[in-house]
Amino acid sequence: ITNNGATATGAKGSGKTRGEVRIDMAYFPTVSVIETKVESVETTTTEKPHASENVVAATSEMNAEAKTTNTGSVPTVEPKSNSAGEPAQVSNSAPEAPRKSVDAAEVSERKLAEETERKAYVASLTTGVLTVTVHQARELACSKNASPRCALELHGVETPPTGPKRLVGQTEAIKKTNNPVWDAPIPFYVSDSRTAYCVFTIKDTKEGSGLGTATVQIHDVINQPSETTPDDWFKLDAVPTGKLRLTFKWDPVDLNAQGGGSKVLRKEPIGLARVKIVEAKGVANVETFRKSDPYCKLFLARQAFGSTNVRDNTLDPVWNETFFSPYYGRSETLRFEVWDYNNVKKDRTLGRVEFLLSDLVAAANGGETKDPNFSRCKADGLSVKDSGDGVLRV
């Protein structure tokens, strides 16, 4: 910003500002100039007091009146006269009201208390989204021509997330190896972390034989102290050799909203949205010598809650990635944005599409929706039908 208030332009007249100035202002009422009204007042004192005593008395009355008012107006003080009827002399310099001082230690202590309360509240939650990343397996009891796959089942909860099968996800089969590397994240909702546990089963898809199982208590892995390095290798049961490497990421979600008067919980969620980004077809090509590098961002009620991985040099990206987000009303909007990744310049948009959450919830539950074809959705460069350019499958 220049001295005359004009906006400074960037390179080549881009018209962009070079920076911002943030100003924090506070108002403290003070007394600047006091005009006194002189009147004759009868007193019973026969002795003539000193003028300085009248100054002290007038000043005390002035301070008392300034403290009791919050209007910010200048108070009028009527000083007492002496026994001879002569007005007292009042000093022209008025004392300032005491300014409010910000105690840095008090502010820091308050923030620390709020952060401690937040951590304690989050740690007490037993519902949330658990993301299990199945990294790899070693020394499996099979030949090097096997095709191992790992499946994950959730047990210990009354209502499994995917019905009676209890299967929440599985990796791809890796051919011709007994040391497979998957690096596959599997997110799922846990209704009670105190009783839930995961069962991992590795099978050879070529021979159909089992290669071992591993059981992990969810409560044990999400409550490990942060200062300790967790052991992410788990020995496989029912087989002579083999171990499985797993990592866990816990995101607590309070769907019951039992926060009471806590400042941590501001609003009550009414549900948890599970969104799987499957693929996109025929996205725009914004590159010159190669194809776009698309990825997808997710927004719920204008708040970002997920982003897929980048798929290089393709107009038909396949992601198959799942995301979760609590929602607070069915009138909220769910928006998907597809972007072209660029490691030198800014990323460029390839299109977006926006839905009403009420239509998606009704369609997902098999009920009737007022907009079965999603004609009310707002699209820009993307389509939700099976024809046309830029189709996003979710």
Span 292-324, pLDDT tens digits: 999 999 999 888 988 999 999 999 999 988 888
Which residue bears the tokens 């490691």? 343
Least reliable range by pLDDT among 31-35, 49-53, 201-205, 357-361: 31-35
In this structure, the number of other CB atoms found within 10 A of the CB of residue 257 comes to 13
Which residue bears the tokens 């069915």? 330
Q: How confident is the model at residue 28 (pLDDT cuts 50, 70, 90)?
A: very low
Report whether 193 contacts 126 (CB < 8 A).
yes
Alpha-carbon distance of 313 to 288, in angstroms, equals 11
Alpha-carbon distance of 162 to 191, in angstroms, equals 13
Alpha-carbon distance of 75 to 31, in angstroms, equals 8
In this structure, the number of other CB atoms found within 10 A of the CB of residue 362 comes to 17
3-class DSSP assignment, residue 151:
strand
**Model pLDDT, residue 8:** 43
Those residues whose C-beta lies under 8 Å from the C-beta of residue 238, and which sit 6 or more positions away, are: 210, 212, 213
Span 109-133, pLDDT tens digits: 888 888 888 778 777 888 888 999 9
Q: What percent of the chain has pLDDT over 70?
A: 62
Give the tokens for residue 72.
Answer: 């910010």
Q: What percent of the chain has pLDDT over 90?
A: 33
pLDDT, averaged across the chain: 74
